Structure 1
């Protein structure tokens, strides 16, 4: 009796991967979005996979993509609906200015405010590594991205699927960036990365695969600015689609003007009733999971796990954890409460609180003053005609 093994792959992540399923299964892959057509750069590769003894699940294929199976390998396939996908369609805009004009005024104003405040507080510059990156820069930026992701998920707290796959991502991306098949888009505060995005490039489509930012800058909406800058780059370089991928997240809904369903293609050997039955089992299972996700079952489960994890962590702690917050103070009391200013690095103040003050006051970090109060825990922070008290407290 022949036993079949299910070999899984994700389309957008496997196109450039050695031994990736698209190259094993397909002779041609194309896309059509509106009037625009193009070819996904599938490269034929030799494979040691036993096609007669395997069923292949190729998931997360955008519905605008058409795959043609390699007829020589005697496959059959069935397609099943999957989760919702989000993207930003850019083909009808002649410039970034035209795209911004199409946005709702409130959203445009919110983005403008975040960018203005970020630029008023820090010396920010942006760089796209696409086609050329040194090994030292790659190692530094990927290490920084990994740390940002880990810190973000500690904050939630949740587990990161990206970190589970990190070794594979890290081992393949350096080559892909230097071959112009991938890129790292980075925002720096002076020389320090504050957001990083790893992207894949498919003809005139940019797929934003994984991104993260320094959570100390959370007040400045870096996630939104990241997408804003990517779209600006796309329109400056003739791209027609910024692909946001799967995941029913609010920021994707906020930006997306092109929603669709992903599909899963289950490929199996011809002339095998068992393979046919197993392929349909995997396919209908995919549709069931997609249906549950559409009903937000995964979100409710995630919230429950997060709550249980949080309660478990809280029970292990010895008392409430400390934190800092900004409080208003009466202007007439500022001079009385001030002491001799100290360097920021000499205080115990978290950067996130300082950056929150910068956001409110629109002050350069070099222009603020920090003055400790007599109790040794609280501070006065001042800049741009604004002062606040930084108060040390305890969570209840």
Structure 2
């Protein structure tokens, strides 16, 4: 397994099937590490995968100006800036334009022996205390288990996980009020189609967090030699109090170190948590390769280069976030109706006979709005869900009672 997963036969053939069914993979003898498709209307070749890969690595062979590209332009998306390309042995007429795009973040795990060693060398004592508290709270309040699917997974189980993966992503981005490109039907169908065989080929994994048998977190990872690439991560927002994101990263670091992986890569895009956990930063670049003496490729490169620079400028100014929010509002104008905005707790001295109560199961979809209040209660009171009963107060809208032993607490949901 000494290759980039995005250049594998499975990845390239599946991508072509979904996004360019009439095309074929094109390789250039002088360029190793990725393959291309021909853009329909211009003398332009683009790497297969385009912007869906999480990092493309390639090398240029020592050659004279390749006969394949005297009047062609090659575009390669998402090349890590730490990739060293030797140009001293390449024909002087061949040039590479690098266009900075997204920031990238990763953890070099080579200096660390285990998770505790990493935490001690990375975070202050107070931060380590909080991180360990999140994990202990999560595992004491719920029946948590973790599983990494790597090398094998049953197709039926895979389908269940991926369907819940999509459900959790939709739920998360409804809460954030923005569009997410991963949920575009064409893109999501590609991910679902390509990930299963890549898991079997050891080029991808799914890391899943369960509460009992309920899936509450999923991370899709790719594997590039000894690097685990965190591609898409989502958690059930009802568990946000327990900081599942931090717990997930700790489990991924733990898994990497136990399985001799020397890097955990958070891939492209800036988020505060990536900067906080990482000890390596870099940029993703788009590379344009062409004969600088040929007028048409040089002109095309100029136009494409400035197009991507404008896009990056808008991204730096956060204008793309506003566009995603606007698109979400257009497509989801009624989703915020009847949302529960908050809740309040009132401790009861005893479970009064004035209340007419009906015990309920929180697994029921109609009781979904109560989960956030319940999980807040469990977190604040260090209670286990196994010891708790939940009651609906009859004839009182949005009123419930949590009971643990002799302790009872009234809950009022507020709109």
Q: Is the 8 A contact 1:148 1:212 kept in 2?
A: yes
Helix, strand or coil: the match of 2:153? coil
- Structure-2 residue corresponding to 1:45: none
1:55 aligned onto 2:55: no
- 1-structure distance, mates of 2:81, 2:405: 52
Q: RMSD in angstroms over aligned alpha carbons?
A: 3.5
Q: TM-score, normalised by structure 2?
A: 0.76
Q: Is the 8 A contact 1:361 1:384 kept in 2?
A: no
Unaligned runs of 5+ in 1: 1-10, 30-38, 43-49
CA separation of 1:202 and 1:341: change in aligned 2, threshold 3 A: same
- 2-structure distance, mates of 1:215, 1:40: 35
Per-residue deviation at 1:388?
A: 3.4
- 2-structure distance, mates of 1:12, 1:150: 29
2:151 to 113, 127, 131: 131
1:321 aligned onto 2:353: no
- Structure-2 residue corresponding to 1:180: 202
CA separation of 1:77 and 1:367: change in aligned 2, threshold 3 A: same
Per-residue deviation at 1:233?
A: 0.9
- Structure-2 residue corresponding to 1:18: 12
Per-residue deviation at 1:352?
A: 2.5
Per-residue deviation at 1:243?
A: 0.8
CA separation of 1:52 and 1:355: change in aligned 2, threshold 3 A: farther
Per-residue deviation at 1:186?
A: 0.8
- Structure-1 residue corresponding to 2:266: 244
CA separation of 1:268 and 1:168: change in aligned 2, threshold 3 A: farther
1:85 aligned onto 2:104: yes
1:157 aligned onto 2:177: yes
Q: Is the 8 A contact 1:361 1:386 kept in 2?
A: no
- Structure-1 residue corresponding to 2:294: 272
Query: Which whole-Å deviations, capped at 9, do the CAs of 1:105-164 have from their partners, x for residues lacking one?
Result: 232222111111111111111111111112112111111111111111122222111122
Per-residue deviation at 1:289?
A: 2.5
Query: Counterparts in 2 of 1:68-83, with a 5 A limit?
Result: 76-83=95-102
Q: TM-score, normalised by structure 1?
A: 0.79
- Structure-1 residue corresponding to 2:238: 216
1:226 to 248, 252, 256: 248
More deviation, 278-287/93-102: 278-287
2:118 to 99, 107, 114: 99
Per-residue deviation at 1:300?
A: 4.7
- 1-structure distance, mates of 2:386, 2:118: 35
- Structure-2 residue corresponding to 1:260: 282
- 1-structure distance, mates of 2:96, 2:58: 21
Query: Counterparts in 2 of 1:192-203, with a 5 A limit?
Result: 192-203=214-225
1:342 aligned onto 2:342: no
Helix, strand or coil: the match of 2:27? helix
- 2-structure distance, mates of 1:384, 1:54: 75
1:379 aligned onto 2:371: no
- 2-structure distance, mates of 1:41, 1:271: 23
CA separation of 1:147 and 1:303: change in aligned 2, threshold 3 A: closer
CA separation of 1:107 and 1:250: change in aligned 2, threshold 3 A: same
- 2-structure distance, mates of 1:340, 1:14: 56
- 2-structure distance, mates of 1:384, 1:258: 49
CA separation of 1:211 and 1:53: change in aligned 2, threshold 3 A: farther
Per-residue deviation at 1:84?
A: 1.4
1:389 aligned onto 2:402: no
CA separation of 1:150 and 1:114: change in aligned 2, threshold 3 A: same
Q: Is the 8 A contact 2:230 2:266 kept in 1?
A: yes
Q: Is the 8 A contact 1:217 1:355 kept in 2?
A: yes
